[in-house]
Structure 1
Amino acid sequence: MKLTQVSQDDETLNIGNKSTWRIGLLFAALLLFMLSQALNYQDTKQIEARDQLLTQEIIQQGELATLKISQEFNQIKQATADIETALTQNKLTNKEIRQLIANTVNTTHGAFRGGVVFKKNRFDPSLPLYSPFYQKGADNKLLQQLSDNYDYTIEDDPLSKRPRTFWFHQPLKEGAMWLPPYYGTSAKSWIAEYIRPFHSNYDGLSQNGFDGIIFLNLSLSGLSKIVSQLDLAQSGYGFILTSDNTLISYPDQSLLGKNINQIKSQNSLFNNILAQKNQGQISVFTHPINKKECWLFFSPIAGTQDTLGILVWADELRATQGLNQASLPLDKIASLLCLIALILILSCLFFPNNLIRLGYRFSILISLIMFISLINLWADQLNGKQSFFSENQVFEAVNVNNLLLKNPYLAEESLLSKAHIKESKNHEISLNIKNLSMLAPGVIQVIGTLSIDHLSDLPDTPPLFFPLANATEWEKLESTKQTQSWKFIADIKQPFNYASFPFDMEEVKIQIKGKGPLANKVITPNFHSYPSMAPKDLPGLSPNKIEVKGWKTEQSYFSYEIFEQEKKSLLSFNILIKRNITGPIITHLLPLIMVSCLAFCTLLLWSKTEKKMSLWGFSSATVLEQCAALFFILVISHVSLRDELEAKGMIFLEYFYFGTYAQIVFVAIAAIIYTSNISVHILDYREGLIIKMLYWPFYFLFCISITLINFL
């Protein structure tokens, strides 16, 4: 058979050609470097544009919320102004004034209680301390007055045991004002009170100063509802601060009415809020408890001196909007282009004199670039940032209260509005995991202790259970007045997904549900029982670095699953575990690499020279025997992989098995064609030189394509 030959002159590169190649490679390296810088710049701009889009959306929501809140305050102000107009323009009777107050309270949105308080003898001599009021939803008496309980005209004395009267005297001196918020026991919520002084001539004198005040109370629970309706993913929440940094709206109701300057030592988050408040409309900081990136927004509420604050977790917001990662990893592509440029520059230092060697040089160069790219992609997948496996993550009490605000049907008997009352506390648990072991790919054994607080009685059996457990053994450790401690050993089913093996990260989910008296109760973690709630500090694991065979523990945290139809919640303790890559590389990846290398060695034996054929023993039969042996090794490894994982669907690593199968089949078929009388130029040219040069570039191209399809 006549083969195409290339002359020695065609194979040899002269000095001019070498210089041209070198200049071309250097120029290509320069272009690649410039392109990498452009991609880095574009990546930075994309990140800025993405975050700008999210922040603008939150700012718009904040502005709408402040508008609604401002309207709530303005309605109260306008209602008192309407009462003032009616009092000053008409001489109303006692009955008419009481009816006016009742109508105003009932028709003004958010109003809880209102009244008119006259100075002594300014309304009617027969009623020296005239102070009628009306309270929504209360048993109002026909002639009830504030003066029935105490004399409000006495000067205020904060040191006296008498009821305070500053609410009457201060507005008369300073004019209309909002008083500091206070908790109304009748309203069972926090109250903001607006007071407006007024002039009248019921006593026949119109030039003797203010005759009294008009007051109207605003229930702040309505403001909390407005703030809770903000679309801030699951964990974001809003709050309202007065001019002196007093909280008048906050998910944790126990902190309402408190100045954050006084409680910042108890919660380091308030230090950040105070520090960020004066930095502008938007600021970024790391949350002191969960160590996540947080965005903090402030928006003034028109018509008041109050400020609306909005706190969101940046990563959760990006994940919710599908923007946690760009569609193309431009920064990774830029790094790869820089690497290619460097390799091109280095390749110019030792330039071959022969076209064949030049072809091999380019084959090795391309293969090296692709191999480094593949390793880079795998490293990114192995060491990438954690995504949000579970929604509704909670790290402190405010997260639980925020969740209940957004899902009010979960709070039995209005727990939120009674959070300050000791009897209404949720049942708190302290969970400590002592040991984890993988019994099977879908079952994990958990050994630990569980403490339950705020129990009304102490049952003989655990008031909690694990819904996903196949079997659980309990042992009572301790019982006190309202607390029980139990030790448990549970075999818990886990719906692991091994599709990304060996770069998989799984979430061990330990669901906790009440039974008996606790069946419909809200169960919350006892956050104060853990030194740190940061997921990377592994709260709930003791010791922190629990060893799971073949896995590494990465994070742990609590979360809730919400069932809207059943109107129930389920507390979960979650442990993120990442597979140790060393074992799968040795057990499964190494055989694939060895088979691919041996298949390439078979290609290197191709020859039609009798001397080489007799020396190497090359023939189609020999190649088929070698391919059959390699195929047998590969099948055993493949079956072992699926048995080990008990896999049902496709696994990431299986694509490489199929690719290696294709390699073996291709080598076998190509060898048969090569040794036959069929003439195929790409196979016959210089004993399969083209196939040998393209073998590894195509192999790594396949690997990169599979990786990109599965992980991007």
Structure 2
Amino acid sequence: MHNQSDIHHKKMISAISLIILIASFVLVINFGYDLVYGTDQILESSIDSAQLEAQNSAEQISSTLIVLSDISQSIAAELSSGELKEEHIEDRLFEDINSNPEIFGVGVAYKKGAYKKYDESSQNDLLYAPTYSRKNGDPQLFQASYDYTVRYNESDNGPNTEWYHRALIEGGGFNDPYFGSRSNKYIIEYSIPFTTAYADQKELSPAGVVYASYSLEGVRNNIASLESGNTGYGFIVSKDGNVISHPIKNYVGKSVDEISGTDEVFKELTSSISHDTINTVYEAQSGNKLWVFYEEIPGTEWILGVVLKDEEISNQMSQEQYNKKIYLSLAMAVFLASISIIGFTRNGITSRSLWKIAIIISVLCLIEMGFIWNLAMTKPISENMDDIIIYDESGLESSLEKIYVSEMGDLNNEYVDSVIKVPTGIFVQSIEFSTGNDVIITGYVWQKHIEGVNDDHVHGVIFPESESTSIDKAYETEDVTGWYFTTTLREQFDYMTYPFDVENVWIKLWSDSFENNVILVPDLESYESLDPESNPGLEKDLVLEGWEAKESYFSYRVNDYDSNFGIDGYNHQGNPDLYFNMELKRDVITPFITYMIPLLLIALLIFIALFTEVKVDTDPSEILKYSASLMLILMVAHVSLRDSLTASGIIYIEYFYIIMYLVVLGISLNALLFASDKKIPIIDYENNIIAKIIYWPVIMTLVLMVTIKTFY
């Protein structure tokens, strides 16, 4: 009868283990496939989505530019035919700009002496060029402030008049962007010649040019709205190789060859433009990989290039990959445990086979915990942040444009135009945690001088989140001013995963002239590398007691301030705050020795105590004394841990103490029952061997469950 029961139990255990084995094997294959190929699918999805956005953006830009050509061609045709009388030109221009809010300006420029009113010989050198342009969003009438009939060379430093001369020579078409002397904006313009119906000539010759313009801010608004990540960006290049639009304003209007001489990344981005391929380019300074693809803007011969940052796409995928790796490792652990159960029970269930299974399950739980700990320690904090991480100058300018479009809806306003950007750098020499939430930082901070701006009005740095700061001028040249600082920052750190935590120590930087619409931008060119893993801005021999520098980087964050800081008329207007972030990984050796090893020793002592129990002659009071002493040791260590960390809630390592509390109570109860006169089969079986066998698997399984709960 006993043998039949054993056979029945063996068959039941084998059947259940086989079902679990098959299920876990299927999960291993599924999660493994998803992990290997799912990443490529996410990447393809991100690129496909960005390509669709780029197509829509190109069509929107095209539709706006078509409006420019339609308006210009219509006015030119009506002037040439005589349908539009010269005395009604200004009314027509106002009507067109007023009914098309997307255009920036529209005008007519006559040749000298071609305007009917000035056809007398005494006035044949006068110019007539009425133009309606927007100022603060409203159309205003202007007259020519310079002689556009003069064609200037680039070396003459004169106003741009190509819009006029190119149209007379080549006919209607779009001009490369130029900086308008009156509007103080980069302008994209369509111009076309017209003739006069009254001219007493056998062959009509152009009498002037009609033109309609679109502010480059409108194009930048459109491109900034692209779903290309926080620091991805778009640029437009003309058929002649001139830059129509780019986040770096200094590039606009220049040739690709000229920019490529100083910007190796831009050279690579524009070296092989193709509509059918997606190219990859590597940034040497940031170590980032770029994905770039191109779209032709219909109705023009311009190319829109869209750049995606692989780092940002990877960050989007990382959390999903993190979860999948945990799923996969758990499925593999269950799969191996099932194999061990089936293998060691094939010849029957014995104490020896159960010990082997218990050891394997305990080891698998330990390996799984180590795997999850390693994942947690290598996972960047930035994945869970709302900050916009800055990797390069193009990304910097693109991120600012996206912020302003998001906060204000438009780049074409006086506030954005008046923003003063002060390049600011920082170099940290020491970091010390004085308490669980206080950190003392020393180092240098500097600011570049801006040409044409009064340094006294824009320079100076404050640390708005510091408890105390000492800052003294350390050096000053014609180009830069530097200060040495010591600051104590009080920050809320997340110790929930202690001792396997990675903390972000950040320094928030403000200009001490923020009321003058000054924002700080990272002085990227002052760093050899911007790869976060190279720790830019950190002393190479930085001493961090109990910590290791993992990454450092600049970032932006838009904070809402429900105050004008006592300054009448001041409005933060969505200006982002500059942060310098330092990700620090805890050195687990010290807390492991201080807290984990004592816990392990207590667990070993309890396990050894299980083998010293005997059925008779055991004093229950001795069991209680032993349990109480262990409980007291655990509680003292637990309180010491809480005192050393100013953490709210239950941190990860505390669960170890809670588990040990339960273990002490459980083993004490087991010992009392075993020493009693009562007959309890599951406890009395082979001298309490069940408790001994399941001891480590139960502890390890509980710890693994807590680990998954904490780090998942």
Same fold (TM over 0.5): yes
Any idea what SS the aligned residue of 1:225 has? helix
Match of 2:503 among 501, 506, 519: 506
Change (3 A) 1:555 1:345: same
Assess if the C-alpha contact under 8 Å between 1:101 and 1:133 holds in 2.
no
Q: CA deviation at 1:578?
A: 0.8
How far apart in 2 are the matches of 1:275 and 1:578? 41
Assess if the C-alpha contact under 8 Å between 1:537 and 1:544 holds in 2.
no
2:324 is aligned to: 330
Please give the per-residue CA displacement for 1:577-608, whole angstroms capped at 9, x wherever unaligned: 11011111111111222222222222233443
Match of 1:432 among 415, 427, 440: 427
Give yes or no for the alignment of 1:584 onto 2:578. no
Equivalent residue runs for 1:294-313 within 5 Å: 294-313=290-309
How far apart in 2 are the matches of 1:639 and 1:162? 77
Q: CA deviation at 1:34?
A: 6.4
TM-score by length of 1: 0.83
Change (3 A) 1:399 1:50: closer
Q: CA deviation at 1:254?
A: 2.0
Residue 450 of structure 1 aligns with an amino acid whose one-letter code is: V
Please give the per-residue CA displacement for 1:70-92, whole angstroms capped at 9, x wherever unaligned: 12101101101211332244354
1:47 is aligned to: 39
Assess if the C-alpha contact under 8 Å between 2:344 and 2:353 holds in 1.
no
Assess if the C-alpha contact under 8 Å between 1:463 and 1:518 holds in 2.
no
Q: CA deviation at 1:488?
A: 1.7
Equivalent residue runs for 1:347-386 within 5 Å: 355-386=350-381
Any idea what SS the aligned residue of 2:387 has? coil
Change (3 A) 1:480 1:605: same
Give yes or no for the alignment of 1:492 onto 2:489. yes
Give yes or no for the alignment of 1:552 onto 2:548. yes
Assess if the C-alpha contact under 8 Å between 1:425 and 1:454 holds in 2.
no
Any idea what SS the aligned residue of 1:426 has? strand
Give yes or no for the alignment of 1:256 onto 2:252. yes
Any idea what SS the aligned residue of 1:648 has? coil
Task: Answer with 513-522 or 239-248: which moved more.
Answer: 513-522
Q: CA deviation at 1:325?
A: 1.9
RMSD, aligned α-carbons? 4.2
Equivalent residue runs for 1:61-76 within 5 Å: 61-76=53-68
Residue 445 of structure 1 aligns with an amino acid whose one-letter code is: I
2:564 is aligned to: none
Assess if the C-alpha contact under 8 Å between 1:462 and 1:486 holds in 2.
no
1:596 is aligned to: 603
Any idea what SS the aligned residue of 1:387 has? helix
Match of 1:149 among 134, 147, 150: 147
Any idea what SS the aligned residue of 1:291 has? coil
Change (3 A) 1:396 1:544: same
Please give the per-residue CA displacement for 1:90-145, whole angstroms capped at 9, x wherever unaligned: 35443123443444345443232421445986979548678642233599999956
2:444 is aligned to: 449
Any idea what SS the aligned residue of 2:382 has? coil
Any idea what SS the aligned residue of 2:518 has? coil
Give yes or no for the alignment of 1:84 onto 2:76. yes
Q: CA deviation at 1:215?
A: 2.5
Q: Identity percentage over the alignment?
A: 22
Q: CA deviation at 1:629?
A: 2.5
Q: CA deviation at 1:526?
A: 1.9
1:626 is aligned to: 626
Change (3 A) 1:552 1:412: farther
Residue 502 of structure 1 aligns with an amino acid whose one-letter code is: P
Match of 1:406 among 402, 410, 414: 402
Q: CA deviation at 1:172?
A: 4.8
2:192 is aligned to: 196
Any idea what SS the aligned residue of 2:319 has? coil
How far apart in 1 are the matches of 2:659 and 2:321? 26
Task: Answer with 171-180 or 402-411: which moved more.
Answer: 402-411
Any idea what SS the aligned residue of 1:329 has? helix
TM-score by length of 2: 0.83
How far apart in 1 are the matches of 2:627 and 2:389? 53
Change (3 A) 1:544 1:245: farther
Give yes or no for the alignment of 1:114 onto 2:110. no
Q: CA deviation at 1:261?
A: 3.1
Q: CA deviation at 1:626?
A: 2.8
2:566 is aligned to: none
User: What residue ranges of structure 2 are gaps of 5+ in the alignment?
Assistant: 562-571
Any idea what SS the aligned residue of 1:100 has? helix
Task: Answer with 251-260 or 230-239: which moved more.
Answer: 230-239
Assess if the C-alpha contact under 8 Å between 2:178 and 2:187 holds in 1.
yes
2:525 is aligned to: 528
Residue 595 of structure 2 aligns with an amino acid whose one-letter code is: H
How far apart in 2 are the matches of 1:459 and 1:177? 47
Please give the per-residue CA displacement for 1:482-504, whole angstroms capped at 9, x wherever unaligned: 74322222222121121110111
Change (3 A) 1:556 1:11: same
Residue 39 of structure 1 aligns with an amino acid whose one-letter code is: F
Residue 493 of structure 1 aligns with an amino acid whose one-letter code is: R
Change (3 A) 1:284 1:692: farther
1:421 is aligned to: none
Please give the per-residue CA displacement for 1:179-228, whole angstroms capped at 9, x wherever unaligned: 22211121111112212244664325575576654322322121112222
Aligned residues: 685
2:675 is aligned to: 675
